[in-house]
Amino acid sequence: MDYSNCVIYLHGNSGNKISGKTLIQYLLPEGIPLLTFDFAGSGCSDGKYVTLGFNESNDLIEIIE
């Protein structure tokens, strides 16, 4: 699978990576991979607190790298 085109799903403040599964039916038939993850402090991730974007941006940078 070509990962040069990939959708990275970012969940909302009170969400988690599972909410991105609704996109699978649209993306995978087109051969577009979907990556979902839990921000620190959300879902099954480490971390105790959600910082409303302050630290979550660092999570996204790590994912992209």
2 part of a folded domain: no
45 part of a folded domain: yes
- Mean pLDDT of each 10-residue bin along the chain, 65 residues long: 79 85 93 88 71 81 87
The reported pLDDT for the residue numbered 63 is 86
The reported pLDDT for the residue numbered 59 is 85
Total domains in the fold of the chain: 1
Domain, as residue range, for 35: 7-64
Q: What percent of the chain has pLDDT over 70?
A: 86
Q: Residue 20 and residue 9: Cα distance in Å, rounded?
A: 6
60 part of a folded domain: yes
23 part of a folded domain: yes
The reported pLDDT for the residue numbered 1 is 58
Encoded tokens for 2: 């070509």
25 part of a folded domain: yes
Binning the chain into helix, strand and coil, the percentages to the nearest 5 are 35, 10, 55
Distances (CA, A) of 36 to 9, 52: 5, 18
